[in-house]
Amino acid sequence: MKKGVALALVRMGGRPCAIPCEHIVEIVPRVMLSKVPESPPQVLGVINLRGRVVPVVDVRAKLSAQPGSEPLPPYQHLVIVQAEARQVGLAVDEVSEVRNVADSEVEKPGDLARAHAPGVVRIDRELVLVVSPEDVLHAIG
């Protein structure tokens, strides 16, 4: 029996991305954020998720399919992921579906766009960047 991975397919900055479902806590629609003074530009703020303060980050500009062009549209959803010992909300343009893929379908390309990704997978003739929560934490410092 082939081993596989379930991936939530999302768009971040117009680019197709996937987040391994094993890291996802939940998906929430756009909510009001509390700003954090003097936070890095990627940190949009924090939310109160059932009594837990969760930082919300936006790495869409870093992953954008057309960097430096028009400003990104407002995010539509937050994907709450477990990253190391903490939860982080990722701003995404959209969440489309969950796909199961064989481990062998996820190719390891090494460093991509100054971010080390766990891999790339081809889904419906598109190359989809697999994003790990740990890489997101490293991207925001």
- Return the pLDDT at 62: 78
pLDDT of amino acid 71: 65
- Core vs surface per residue 88-97: b (16+ CB within 10 A) or e: bbbbbbebee
Which CATH number describes the domain made up of 4-140? 2.40.50.180
Residues in the chain: 141
Amino acid at 11: R
Task: Find the largest Cα–Cα distance for the chain.
Answer: 51
* CB-based contact 79:27 (threshold 8 Å): yes
The reported pLDDT for the residue numbered 92 is: 92
Tokens of 9: 């397919």
Look at residue 1 in the predicted model and tell me its pLDDT: 47
- Give me the DSSP letters along 65-109: SSTTSSPPPPP-EEEEEEETTEEEEEEESEEEEEEEEEGGGSB--
For the chain, domain boundaries: 4-140
Say if residues 95 and 27 touch (Cβ distance below 8 Å): yes
Question: Cβ atoms within 10 A of the Cβ of 116, count?
Answer: 15
How many CA atoms are closer than 13 Å to the CA of 36, on its beta-carbon side?
14
Q: Is the dihedral of CA 23, 28, 107, 68 positive or negative?
A: negative
Q: According to the model, what pLDDT value does residue 115 have?
A: 52
Return d(Cα 115, Cα 138) in angstroms, integer. Answer: 9
Q: What is the pLDDT of residue 72?
A: 66
pLDDT in tens, the chain (141 residues): 457 899 999 998 888 999 999 999 999 988 889 999 998 888 999 999 989 999 999 888 777 766 655 666 778 889 999 988 889 999 999 999 999 999 888 887 665 555 556 788 999 888 898 988 877 776 666
Q: What is the pTM of this model?
A: 0.84
